[in-house]
Amino acid sequence: MQTKETTSNPDNPELEKIFNDLASQWLTETRGISSINQMSMHPAYQQIIGMGKDIIPLLLREVERKSGHWFWALKSITREDPVPPEKRGRTKEMTKAWLDWGKNKGYKW
């Protein structure tokens, strides 16, 4: 039996500001880079991963809004990958898999 995690969007404006600042820095400084490996190794992205499970709702919100590029962070933080192998590389289907995963785990964003 799978248990749901009782988590919700953190009502922590400071955490959200730090996340938003790092995400903005990352997007600005990786604009034009096509390698997901290079983008994911950027210091701001690594700092986002280092923020841990508290930011999962913020990442899911970003995935829902813009999709893409946050899958690596989600997989690193959660140590899970709800995307079936045959769906990898299909952003729309990967987005759905992660959002369904978040809802099933009890996350709210």
Domain of 70, in residue numbers: 13-104
| Mean pLDDT (the chain, rounded) | 89
**Is residue 1 a part of any domain in this protein?**
no
**Is residue 60 a part of any domain in this protein?**
yes
**Is residue 76 a part of any domain in this protein?**
yes
- What's the maximum distance between 2 C-alpha atoms anywhere in the chain? 44
The angle that helices 91-104 and 56-66 make with each other, rounded to 10 degrees, is 140
**Is residue 58 a part of any domain in this protein?**
yes
**Is residue 2 a part of any domain in this protein?**
no
**Is residue 6 a part of any domain in this protein?**
no
**Is residue 3 a part of any domain in this protein?**
no
Averaged pLDDT for residues 6-19: 74
Instruction: Give the model confidence (pLDDT) of 29-81 as tens digits.
Output: 999 988 888 999 999 999 999 999 999 999 999 999 986 689 999 999 999 99
Structural domains counted in the chain: 1
Spatial separation of the C-alpha atoms in residues 42 and 106, rounded to whole Å: 30
